[in-house]
A and B are shown apart, each in its own frame.
Chain A
């Protein structure tokens, strides 16, 4: 054993549970980035994750943190309540596109506008994963879903909503960035963004919002590899990556 070098261990912030995600799904990747960030900023025992209603509804089984499950779309409101009671805890609102931009748009905007000192991790996979692949507010034009069977038609249902750009119209948020997790280089960047968003909260700076472009191979009807390619070729041009706001700078 002495001669062996330990080069990898599972993050302390993760439980031993196997996730239920499909092959190629990036929810697990984002969980891991949150866990590693919490390890690194020493907040494993001081963080509370709010589970959305969506495929990540069981996130509290995978992250070894306090967990609270909110009703669909209400995570930012629940996070607000928790944070006001426990200002010294890290409160993470983890949400999908249906949760954050459809049913929970009101909660999203108002928590951001109040500048709640919370961290919102927004996993944008351009679809409703959990319910079997219906159109999301972020579904791409022409993208086929079970409720847009000949492809999303913007003349009928509008264009996909860009969350970072909307939040960037508000005064209070301190940090807004869009990242992706379709390849290792981008996963590294995503990690930095998530860590920074959590650190901001720890330091009491205010509301941080990180959008992670993600895959849902199952409901996109693509293999994992093809889904990473589709994310890169179709989503990134419409959802440009980068920092929208960093009040430190």
Chain B
């Protein structure tokens, strides 16, 4: 069972990244749940969501100690770094996070999400870069194919025109991590 937290500024698309992952994993027959932070706590501050992916029924969908954490901004790194389970995974957005994570008992991946998004012509696809990196690091969660299907299912139709860019960003991030 993986307990995953996506965190960043409101507007960086962390809630929808979580949703896309949940859909992709669901399509592969996994049990999934997704809980966003919501309401006033999102005004101006950080947004996050918790996704659980499991082979069995999910008891609690609330994540106190994530096994994987994807952080897109520095306040989120500050908030979540210490909570990750020992042996867990941290993926962070090195484009705008200036400090280095401190933990030594987890695996840490740095990926320039904003840069990858921008040179593919979008300023809004940093969340897709994070997803691409996640699929590379934890292929058990979902395949790239399922993720592409999730982009159609989980994104409203009027935004489907952005999907070719979303896919390019995701794929570049996927191959960025060696």
Contacts and interface: CB of A to CB of B under 8 A. Distances in A.
Interface of A: 20-22, 130, 132
B59 interface: no
A130 B44 contact: no
8 contacts: A20-B40, A20-B43, A20-B44, A21-B43, A22-B43, A22-B44, A130-B40, A132-B39
Nearest to A18: B44
Contacts of B40: 20, 130
Interface residues of B, number: 4
Interface string B30-64: 00000000011001100000000000000000000
Contacts, number: 8
Interface of A is mostly: loop
Nearest to B43: A20
Contacts of B43: 20-22
Contacts of B39: 132
Nearest to B38: A132
B43 to A, nearest CB: 6
B40 to A, nearest CB: 7
A21 B44 CA distance: 8
Contacts of A132: 39
A55 B130 CA distance: 33
Contacts of A20: 40, 43-44
Nearest to B45: A20
A130 B41 CA distance: 11
A222 to B, nearest CB: 14
B12 to A, nearest CB: 16
Nearest to A132: B39
Given A21-B43, A22-B43, A132-B39, 5 more contacts: A20-B40, A20-B43, A20-B44, A22-B44, A130-B40
